């Protein structure tokens, strides 16, 4: 397996890395974006925009619309601060926002945990096949569903 190695961030270092990545992408790190990222980073499992909106609403003391959260999460995905688990319509914080690569998720059907893997060889083969079929700007997202070791 051709694994992709990088530095995993957590806590304040993760927030700092996310802020730097967003600013380097030409975007602003607003209070709302900071609040949404902070809440997203607390989840151990993929979180929906509705879950995040509820948490940010509680934190801010006023309602935050899920549509606003979706827009910011889409920006986070586009700038590599978060990843979208397509089959669950949910998001996870990227623990290494400065490192761009494809997504491979192992998703537990029992507990909902999504484990992210980096395998450049596997995602590279998918990318090459898509490009061979005429697709441009391919960004594979591969999801494998099953049971994690804790639930087996």
The model's pLDDT over 27-77, given as tens digits with 9 standing for 90+, comes to 999 999 999 999 999 998 999 999 999 999 999 999 999 999 999 999 999
**Both tokens of residue 143?**
């999801």
Global pTM reads: 0.81
Q: Looking at residue 105, what DSSP letter applies? A: E
Question: Would you place residue 152 in the very low, low, confident or very high pLDDT band (cuts 50, 70, 90)?
Answer: confident
pLDDT in tens, 82-94: 999 988 899 999 8
The first and second tokens of residue 113, run together, are 């945990």
**Rounded to 10 degrees, what is the CA torsion of 37, 43, 46, 49?**
-50
Q: What are the chain's domains?
A: 11-93 (1.10.10.10), 103-146 (3.30.1490.190)
Give the tokens for residue 126.
């998918």
Average pLDDT on 114-127 reads 83
Look up residue 65 and give its two tokens. 């619309």
């Amino acid at each position: 397996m051709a694994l992709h190695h990088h530095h995993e961030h957590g806590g304040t270092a993760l927030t700092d890395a996310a802020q730097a990545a967003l600013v380097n992408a030409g975007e602003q790190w607003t209070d709302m974006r900071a609040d949404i990222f902070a809440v997203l980073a607390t989840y151990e499992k993929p979180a929906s925009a509705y879950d995040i909106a509820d948490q940010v609403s509680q934190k801010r003391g006023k309602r935050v619309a899920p549509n606003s959260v979706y827009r910011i999460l889409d920006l986070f995905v586009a700038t590599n601060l978060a990843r979208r688990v397509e089959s669950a319509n949910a998001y996870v914080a990227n623990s290494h926002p400065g490192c761009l690569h494809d997504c491979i998720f192992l998703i537990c059907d029992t507990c909902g945990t999504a484990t992210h893997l980096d395998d450049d060889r596997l995602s590279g083969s998918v990318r090459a096949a898509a490009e061979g079929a005429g697709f441009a700007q391919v960004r594979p997202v591969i999801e494998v569903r099953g049971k994690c070791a804790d639930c087996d």
